Every structure is written in structure tokens, then in C-alpha cells.
């Protein structure tokens, strides 16, 4: 069965939760880290609080990313959307308001599907869809370093973004900001 990437919508909520589960080591977060106002108290939040926030996002129509399916199962996730909606992200990175910039803020590959090149496939399809939708620019916020653990890669591996044509917008020894202009190509 070929790999497929689909934009998250209401019909794929169960697949989102199947991927964001304890079985994959990420049932606690539900991909809401950037949706809370501050990192203060983040580690004390419960899985139930994060689940309620994710459900509230869905209930208001915030289907903010893409699912990768491999072998017929949800295997990967990329959170994507207008960057300025995530106030904590903008504040943490000291970014000026930019309504044209979109952000890829979370990147998850389920453990059985890691190291198979699927992150590259997922990013390629996300970029293709954003370009088709008329998004001018997209930014990424990977962690930089050698020998990073899977938990360090929750915003995506820098090498995958660089291989996809992203350029370093702002260099930092740990948290660079990368950008890809989608208007050309």
C-alpha cells in the first residue's frame, strides 16, 4: 500500500488520536504545546487538560496539520498553519508579525516508521499542498545539535528541512529559524 499524506479534517480525528497516543510515546501532548500561552506550568499539565484543549481546537474548526499514512496506518504528523496564531511561538522566537508566514511547528513520526525516509515524504507533500493553497512562505523551528534523541525532534529534524530547500533565516546554536519561499517553484 503506497504512503499517503492527507490534510487533517474532521473525518481524520480518530487517526490523529491513534497517532498521538501512549503507544507512540506522545499521548500526553496531543500537539497543543504551542497553543498554550506560556511554557510556565507546561510540564505540570495533565494529559486530560491537553486532550480537552485539542478537542476544543477541533470543535472550533482548527484542523491544523497533515497526517502521513504508511502501510494503511497513521504514521506521521506535521502541524502547519498561519504562524501568528501561535502567540507563544512568535514571542519565544522574537518574531515580528507577518500574516503571510506559515509555521511548521510539530513533526512526529511513530516509532515503527522512523528512519525510513517518511519524514522527507511528509514534508514534501505538506510543502506541495501549501504551495497549491497559495501560502507565500513557511517557517520551521527545528532543534539543532548532534546525536539528538527522538524527544528532541518534536519540531522536526533540521536536516529534513534543509534538504527540502529551507534556508536559515536566523541562526542559533540550538533553535534556528528556517524558511522556504513558496512563491518560486
**Any residues with CB less than 8 A from the CB of 5 and at least 6 apart, and which?**
66, 67, 68, 69, 121, 122, 125, 126, 129
Q: What pLDDT band is residue 65 in, cutting at 50, 70 and 90?
A: very high
**What's the CA gap between 7 and 155, in Å, rounded?**
18
Q: Which three cell numbers stand for residue 108?
A: 512526529
**What's the CA gap between 26 and 7, in Å, rounded?**
20
Q: What is the mean pLDDT of residues 58-86?
A: 95
Query: For 90-135, how does the pLDDT look when each residue is reduced to its tens digit (9 = 90+)?
Result: 999 999 999 999 999 999 998 888 888 899 999 999 999 999 999 9
Cβ atoms within 10 Å, residue 25: 14
Query: For 134-182, how does the pLDDT look when each residue is reduced to its tens digit (9 = 90+)?
Result: 999 999 999 887 777 777 788 888 999 999 999 999 999 889 999 999 9
Q: What is the mean pLDDT of residues 84-94?
A: 95
Which domains, from first to last, does the chain contain?
Answer: 4-181 (3.40.630.30)
**What's the CA gap between 111 and 150, in Å, rounded?**
9
How remote is the C-alpha of 20 from its chain's centroid? 12
User: What secondary structure letter does DSSP report for 36?
Assistant: S
Would you state the pLDDT for residue 148?
77
Would you state the pLDDT for residue 112?
85
**What's the CA gap between 33 and 75, in Å, rounded?**
20
Query: At 170, phi and psi to the nearest 5?
Result: -140, 120
Determine which helix (DSSP H) or strand (DSSP E) holds 78, and give its type and residue range. Answer: strand 73-82
Q: Tell me the HSE value of 145 on the side-chain side, using a 13 A CA sphere.
A: 10
Amino acid at each position: 500500500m503506497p504512503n499517503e499524506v492527507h490534510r487533517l479534517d474532521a473525518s481524520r480525528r480518530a487517526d490523529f488520536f491513534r497517532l498521538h497516543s501512549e503507544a507512540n510515546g506522545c499521548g500526553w501532548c496531543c500537539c497543543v504545546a504551542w497553543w498554550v500561552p506560556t511554557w510556565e506550568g507546561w510540564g505540570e499539565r495533565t494529559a486530560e487538560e491537553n486532550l480537552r484543549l485539542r478537542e476544543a481546537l477541533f470543535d472550533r474548526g482548527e484542523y491544523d496539520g497533515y497526517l502521513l499514512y504508511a502501510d494503511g496506518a497513521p504514521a506521521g504528523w506535521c502541524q502547519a498553519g498561519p504562524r501568528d496564531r501561535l502567540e507563544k511561538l512568535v514571542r519565544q522566537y522574537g518574531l515580528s508579525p507577518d500574516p503571510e508566514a506559515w509555521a511548521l511547528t510539530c513533526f512526529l513520526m511513530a516509532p515503527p516508521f522512523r528512519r525510513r525516509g517518511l519524514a522527507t515524504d511528509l514534508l514534501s507533500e505538506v510543502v506541495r499542498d501549501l504551495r497549491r493553497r497559495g501560502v507565500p512562505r513557511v517557517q520551521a523551528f527545528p532543534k539543532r545539535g548532534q546525536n539528538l534523541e527522538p524527544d528532541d525532534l518534536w519540531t522536526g529534524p533540521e536536516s529534513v528541512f534543509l534538504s527540502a530547500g529551507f534556508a536559515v533565516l536566523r541562526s542559533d546554536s540550538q533553535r534556528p529559524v528556517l524558511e522556504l519561499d513558496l512563491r518560486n517553484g
